[in-house]
Amino acid sequence: MTRDAAVSKAGEIASSVLAPSAGQNDKLGRFSAEAVKALGESGLLGLLLPVDFGGAGLGPRTFAAVLATLAEADASVAMVYLMHILGVATMSAARSGAAQAVAPILREVGAGRHLSTLAFSEAGSRSHFWAPISRAHRNGNGGVCLSSKKSWVTSAGHAQSYIVSALAPEGAGPTDSTLYLLKAGTRGLSVAGPWDGLGLRANASAPIALEECEVSADLQLTDDGAGFPAMLNVVLPLFSLGSAAVSLGLCRSAVTGTVAHLKSAKFEHLGQSLGESLPTLRAQLATMQVDTDGLSARIDDVVDHLEKPRETTMLRVLEAKAAAGEVVISVTSTAMRICGGAAFSKHLGIERLFRDAHAGAVMAPTGDVLREFIGKSLLGIPLF
């Protein structure tokens, strides 16, 4: 699959599967199994997966473009897709001792039949996902036993696998974690509550409970204590880029929806559309467009840094999610104001975008934490 083919497939799915049901799924908090099926059949679930496993072997540039395209129609589905890609990237980077057990799962991903996700955040350490409270205990069979309360897991109850973090059995420090692969159906793994979020309501980001889950040694994805470097080097760059791309899709959708409203809503007594009549609304629309294109340029820049890693790459990665989280709230808030009562009373899809936009800043690493990291790194202060 080429980059253009991938983006065009994402566009077809966005218009034929996502857009028609995004509003209703948001209202009902309904996870779109049809969307996941369509993504699987199109080959997009294996977008970054090496071709040896049936994947497309494409890179971050295509990933960002596909995500923005999906998010323009339905950010809930885009977030499901993003967490899946992160799960697959973590499996693909697994230590050699897990390669044999992981290979059939990756082939299922390549065939479009396997959805994955990350289960890092815990009730105890909240957004500080790099410091799990739960600890893996050796089970005497070479594997471990895991018990924990994972507070938010996108695609909970729908994914076929969960990438789970826990402190390593002998880990001494708060970040000495290990990553494990738990298949859906593992004894002791259950969805522990409903998902009724303000935004991204259709992505099943419910808590899951792990109660004495046995994990065999071949499903230990990192060496003991090497979970944290995997989070930083494998997950964080793609998550930050992906989160920014989801924000971009939301911004584009907000601009499109606002333009449509400004053209169609009329002041009948003046014989003009809102857009023709009010320069203040045109100026606010222009600001939305400027900010959206600015975010697009930032995403191109971070992609370039990921394709050609250099000294400033990690800084750009941290900046991308922090900046995108603010831009998308600003753009969708302006859309709410421009579209006025029609948006407020939910006659347009704009308020869904506004609610979805607020997830980016609170998803960890949160916007505040990213600023902390950026500030500390500029001053040469250790981040952890």
Ligand X SMILES: Cc1cc2nc3c(=O)[nH]c(=O)nc-3n(C[C@H](O)[C@H](O)[C@H](O)COP(=O)(O)OP(=O)(O)OC[C@H]3O[C@@H](n4cnc5c(N)ncnc54)[C@H](O)[C@@H]3O)c2cc1C
Cα gap 134→151, rounded to integer Å: 12
- Candidates 197, 237, 275, 325; binder of ligand X (CB under 6 A) is 197
Q: What is the DSSP string of 84-133?
A: HHHHHHHHHT--GGGHHHHHHHHHHHHTT---EEEE--BTTTBT-TTS-S
Other CB atoms closer than 10 Å to residue 207's CB: what's the count? 20
Name the minimum Å distance from CB 15 to ligand X.
24
If binding is defined by CB under 6 A, does position 127 make contact with ligand X?
yes
- Candidates 53, 152, 228, 239; binder of ligand X (CB under 6 A) is 152
Which x/- pattern over 324-363 shows residues binding ligand X (rule: CB under 6 A)? -----------------------------------x--xx
Q: Give the nearer residue to ligand X in terms of CB position, either 43 or 180.
A: 180
- Please give the residues from 43 up to 82 whose contact with ligand X meets the rule CB under 6 A: none
- Candidates 293, 372, 374, 377; binder of ligand X (CB under 6 A) is 372
If binding is defined by CB under 6 A, does position 228 make contact with ligand X?
no
Name the minimum Å distance from CB 200 to ligand X.
4
Q: Give the nearer residue to ligand X in terms of CB position, either 170 or 368.
A: 368
Name the minimum Å distance from CB 233 to ligand X.
17
- Candidates 63, 120, 228, 354; binder of ligand X (CB under 6 A) is 120
Q: What tokens were used for 119?
A: 């289960």
The strand order across the sheet containing 144-153 reads 137-138, 144-153, 206-215, 189-191
- The answer to whether 79 touches 246, Cβ cutoff 8 Å, is yes
If binding is defined by CB under 6 A, does position 153 make contact with ligand X?
yes
List Cα–Cα distances, 128 to 48, 124, 198, 310, 378, in angstroms.
27, 9, 21, 27, 21
Q: Give the nearer residue to ligand X in terms of CB position, either 98 or 200.
A: 200
Name the minimum Å distance from CB 81 to ligand X.
12
- The answer to whether 249 touches 75, Cβ cutoff 8 Å, is yes
The closest of 328, 332, 257, 336 to 299, measured between CA atoms, is: 328
Q: What tokens were used for 130?
A: 């790099």
If binding is defined by CB under 6 A, does position 369 make contact with ligand X?
yes
Name the minimum Å distance from CB 109 to ligand X.
17
Total residues binding ligand X (CB under 6 A) = 23
Name the minimum Å distance from CB 358 to ligand X.
9
Q: Give the nearer residue to ligand X in terms of CB position, either 37 or 371.
A: 371
Q: What share of the chain is helix, strand, coil (3-state, %, to 5)?
A: 55, 15, 30
The closest of 99, 324, 365 to 231, measured between CA atoms, is: 365
For binding to ligand X (CB under 6 A), which residues are involved? 83, 117-121, 126-127, 129, 152-154, 197, 200, 205, 359, 362-364, 366, 368-369, 372
